[in-house]
Amino acid sequence: QNYLDNFWPDLKAAHELFDSIVQARRERESESQENHGKEYPEHLPVEVLEAGIKSGRYLQGALNVNKHRAQLEAFVRLQGFGGKDTG
């Protein structure tokens, strides 16, 4: 902030970008505190998952991620659906 104020006081875009970054960091820290310092929420217990799969609430499958576009392309191949042997 000091650098921008001292050397680039009229560069509005840089100040807006800095403010945006500060806000994003605050939101991430807030989310981290809500999750007790963990970046991601905890997984459901195995018993809950198994019951959910049996009831049809959850689906089970293999996650396939495109190695060249991992952040953009992925899909889940459901067990028992669309396999080579099912036609």
Per-residue pLDDT of the chain (87 residues; tens, 9 = 90+): 999 999 999 999 999 999 999 998 888 777 777 666 666 667 888 899 999 989 988 888 999 999 998 889 999 998 766 555 544
What is the three-class DSSP state of 2?
helix
Assess whether 21 and 45 both reside in one domain.
Answer: no
* Domain of residue 74, residue span: 40-78
| β-strand partners of 65 | 74
Q: Tell me, what's the pLDDT at 84?
A: 56
Considering the domain boundaries, does residue 85 fall inside one? no
Q: Tell me, what's the pLDDT at 87?
A: 42
**Count of structural domains, the chain:** 2
Q: Tell me, what's the pLDDT at 42?
A: 72
Considering the domain boundaries, does residue 48 fall inside one? yes
d(CA 11, CA 16): 9
Q: Which residues contact 14 (CB under 8 A, 6 or more apart)?
A: 4, 8
d(CA 85, CA 87): 6
Considering the domain boundaries, does residue 50 fall inside one? yes
Considering the domain boundaries, does residue 84 fall inside one? no
Considering the domain boundaries, does residue 86 fall inside one? no
Considering the domain boundaries, does residue 74 fall inside one? yes
Tokens representing 16 are 């807006």
Write down the pTM of the prediction: 0.40
